[in-house]
């Protein structure tokens, strides 16, 4: 259920929707956009219908129920004469079986506000080097959308797949005949567990050109440099030559073993978001009752490169299933 906190009358609005995901690219970019535009909260999506309690908090020796994750709608009036902007931010993604109802609730709401276009952000895992400016690609629901987004200077994604909540959003927008697109920014496949402000910067740079608005991205640039310095130290560490290699010219390229080392080091430097941990626990709970949910669970663990941390628990699900069949 969506609670409207104040009435708005947007003109030709575009919706930007974001939630936590790989590299925190989408949610980082959308929150930054909201803050820079000084967009104001006008509605809130209650989470009880779409999320399950996965843990219990204890405070001062007393058990308390955790709050359900919520979604918030923000509004920015474009006084420069362009399109107004509505930004939807979700604390986390619902479990997969709730994608349809969750997406429908949001799109029905903004459709009533006469939203003219829906945009989402996502990370696209590639072998891109972490210091290279990431490319941004577009996945669109209609061919004519490519032309409308031409001024963003982003090329369309020719083939591929959009999975998860982004895919459902685009699909339902197409059913409603609302033009929609997803900005997909490249991130290194060995660094999906940490924030990637450089990719968020690339996405917002493209978005600002499309919307025709001026957006100060300097803070994202500073954050990107800090992350790159951290990654550089880690890569230098795993590539540190042995005494036998001191007379070699240069360092070898990053190997698969090096990538594993980097992932291990990154997991110690950064923890996965709390929202993702909650999602993992929800999927474990679902898989206990329905083993077919294990596929979504495995995909999530692999996306965040934490399967090894949960391997024993994951395999235990199948042991229980085998016992049921005996």
**Complete domains list, the chain, with CATH:** 2-214 (3.40.50.10900), 274-325 (no CATH)
CB 75 within 8 A of CB 40: yes
Cβ neighbours of residue 226 closer than 8 Å, sequence gap 6 or more: none
| CA-to-CA separations, 302 to 34, 269, 279, in angstroms, rounded | 30, 18, 13
Of the given ranges (35-49, 239-253, 255-269), which has the lowest mean pLDDT?
Answer: 239-253
User: Span 153-162, mean pLDDT?
Assistant: 80
Q: Kindly report the backbone phi and psi dihedral angles of residue 181, in degrees, each rounded to the nearest multiple of 5, phi listed first.
A: -155, 155
Question: Could you tell me the two tokens for 255?
Answer: 């190997």
Of the given ranges (70-84, 208-222, 251-265), which has the lowest mean pLDDT?
Answer: 251-265
Alpha helix (H) residue ranges in 38-183: 99-112, 143-148, 164-175
Q: Kindly report the backbone phi and psi dihedral angles of residue 174, in degrees, each rounded to the nearest multiple of 5, phi listed first.
A: -65, -40
Higher-pLDDT residue of 60, 157 = 157
pLDDT, the chain, mean: 82
Q: Is 195 left (phi over 0), alpha (psi -120 to 50) or beta?
A: beta
- Of 92, 109, 103, 156, the C-alpha closest to 10 is 109
What's residue 151's pLDDT?
76
Angle at 162 between CA 306 and CA 178, to 5 degrees: 140
**Beta strand extents in 222-293 (DSSP E only):** none
Question: Could you tell me the two tokens for 235?
Answer: 């890569």
The per-residue DSSP string of 215-238 comes to ---HHHHHHHHHHHHHHHHHHHHH
pLDDT at position 31 over 90: yes
CB 210 within 8 A of CB 149: yes
Which strands make up the sheet holding 136-140, listed edge to edge? 2-4, 40-45, 71-76, 85-90, 14-18, 117-126, 180-188, 136-140, 155-156
Of the given ranges (105-114, 223-232, 241-250, 275-284), which has the lowest mean pLDDT?
Answer: 241-250
- Give Cα 6 distance to the centre of its chain: 28
Q: Which residue, chain included where needed, has tokens 């949960």? A: 310
Question: Could you tell me the two tokens for 170?
Answer: 């685009």
What's residue 243's pLDDT?
45
Q: To which H or E segment does residue 183 belong?
A: strand 180-188
Higher-pLDDT residue of 232, 218 = 218
Q: To which H or E segment does residue 211 belong?
A: helix 197-211
What's residue 192's pLDDT?
76
What span, in angstroms and rounded, lies between the C-alpha atoms of 232 and 1?
46
Q: How many helices (H) and strands (E) are present in the chain, helices listed first?
A: 10, 11
Higher-pLDDT residue of 262, 17 = 17
User: Residue 269 — pLDDT band, cuts 50, 70, 90?
Assistant: very low
What span, in angstroms and rounded, lies between the C-alpha atoms of 251 and 272?
31
Cβ neighbours of residue 302 closer than 8 Å, sequence gap 6 or more: none
What span, in angstroms and rounded, lies between the C-alpha atoms of 240 and 131?
19
User: Span 142-154, mean pLDDT?
Assistant: 81
pLDDT at position 249 over 50: no
What span, in angstroms and rounded, lies between the C-alpha atoms of 93 and 278?
10
- Other C-beta atoms closer than 10 Å to the C-beta of 142 total 15
CB 167 within 8 A of CB 103: no
HSE-CB for 78 with a 13 A CA cutoff: 18
What's residue 158's pLDDT?
80
């Amino acid at each position: 259920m969506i609670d409207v906190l104040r009435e708005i009358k947007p003109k030709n609005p575009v919706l930007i929707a974001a939630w936590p995901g790989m590299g925190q690219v989408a949610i980082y970019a959308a929150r930054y956009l909201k803050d820079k535009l000084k967009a104001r909260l006008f509605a809130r999506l209650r989470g009880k219908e779409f999320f399950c309690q996965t843990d219990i908090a204890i405070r001062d020796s007393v058990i308390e129920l955790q709050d359900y994750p919520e979604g918030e709608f923000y509004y920015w009036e474009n006084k420069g004469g362009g399109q107004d902007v509505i930004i939807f931010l979700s604390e986390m993604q619902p479990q997969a079986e709730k994608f349809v109802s969750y997406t429908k609730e949001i799109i029905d709401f903004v459709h009533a506000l006469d939203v003219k276009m829906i945009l989402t952000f996502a990370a696209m895992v590639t072998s891109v080097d972490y210091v290279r400016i990431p490319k941004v690609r577009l996945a669109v629901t209609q061919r004519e959308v490519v032309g409308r987004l031409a001024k963003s200077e982003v090329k369309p994604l020719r083939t591929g797949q959009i999975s998860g909540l982004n895919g459902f959003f685009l699909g339902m927008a197409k059913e409603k005949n609302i033009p929609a697109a997803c900005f997909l920014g490249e991130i290194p496949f060995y660094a999906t567990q940490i924030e990637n402000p450089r990719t968020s910067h690339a996405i917002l740079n493209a978005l600002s050109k499309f919307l025709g608005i001026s957006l100060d991205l300097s803070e994202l640039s500073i954050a990107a440099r800090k992350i790159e310095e951290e990654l550089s130290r880690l890569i230098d560490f795993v590539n540190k030559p042995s005494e036998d290699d001191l007379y070699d010219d240069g360092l070898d390229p990053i190997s698969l073993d090096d990538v594993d080392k980097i992932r291990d080091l990154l997991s110690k430097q950064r923890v996965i978001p709390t929202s993702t941990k909650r999602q993992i626990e929800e999927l474990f709970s679902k898989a206990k009752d329905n083993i077919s949910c294990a596929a979504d669970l495995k995909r999530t663990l692999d996306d965040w490169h934490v399967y090894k941390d949960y391997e024993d628990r994951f395999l235990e699900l199948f042991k229980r299933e085998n016992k049921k069949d005996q």
